[in-house]
Amino acid sequence: MFDEKNYWRQRHDDHNGALKAVGIDTVTERGNQLAYQLLADQYGRLLDRLALPAGARALDAGAGVGAFTRVLHERGFDVTALDISQTALDGIDLPIAKVCSPIAAADLPDRSFDYVHSFDVLYHVMSDAEWAASLEALCRWSSRYVVLHERFLRLPQWMPSKIMKMRPRQQTIGILERQGLRQVDEMPTYFLSKQLLTYRVAGKRPDAFYKLDAWALGRHSESAWVRAVASHRVKVFERQR
């Protein structure tokens, strides 16, 4: 029987520290680097708007090779990295706390972080019950913000794969609202490079698509047409109670 957790652990063992371990494994390392740079650029703009103080306690849930753990650490946050792969955690060369566990099974105190984020992780949790428990755990651990990145589809994914099952965005938002959080901000992160009809071409021409997306997102992130076309978003939810 296929076990997606073992799949990800093995993938980290195979690609030890490379972005192929967490990105698209059919794309070159250069292509994955540029994709992650686009996301990091947009994420930085969002963090500027949130203006969290240095020393804020932050959890990177599903940290992988630490691409965004490093973003938070460089901003002076007190970061904890959580991942199911010990190989991945061992490769994050930062003086931070590390927890090896699936999200739903992690034993972390309630409201022990000011800021909890999880990027492109939850849709790799294939069990609906575990997915809901994972999202609820992220909410419990946060005293203020929960920040998520994914496609946020209006409808369920038409044909889930063995390692990817995207739930409707209203299902995600409903759990967050029941846990006392409400969306307060969002940022588009990919314009054309991650569209279903273009991502394979983008993988072969990553520099060209990076420049196109960087231009659209860097200059026009707030415009209606970019927000309408963008395939992925970072959504920020803030605790109301």
Q: What is the pLDDT of residues 140-158, one digit of tens each?
A: 999 999 999 999 999 988 8
Strand order in the sheet with 113-119: 97-100, 78-83, 57-61, 113-119, 142-150, 232-239, 181-190
Averaged pLDDT for residues 42-58: 95
The owner of tokens 């314009």 is: 191
Between 25 and 89, the more confident residue is: 89
pLDDT confidence of residue 29: 93
Q: Which of 7-11, 134-138, 164-168, 196-200 is least confident?
A: 196-200
At residue 95, does pLDDT exceed 90? yes
At residue 86, does pLDDT exceed 90? yes
Q: What is the pLDDT of residues 185-241, one digit of tens each?
A: 999 999 999 998 888 888 889 999 999 999 999 999 999 999 999 999 999 999 998
Domain residues of the chain, as ranges?
4-239
Averaged pLDDT for residues 32-57: 95
| Cα→Cα distances 229→40, 184, 196, 209, Å | 19, 21, 12, 15
pLDDT confidence of residue 203: 85
Return the CATH number of the domain spanning residue range 4-239: 3.40.50.150
Residue 159's pLDDT band (boundaries 50, 70, 90)? Answer: confident
pLDDT confidence of residue 200: 84
Q: Tell me how far apart the alpha carbons of residues 15 and 17 are, in angstroms, rounded to a whole number.
A: 6
Mean pLDDT over each residue of the chain, to the nearest integer: 95
Q: What is the pLDDT of residues 162-184, one digit of tens each?
A: 999 999 999 999 999 999 999 99
pLDDT confidence of residue 199: 84
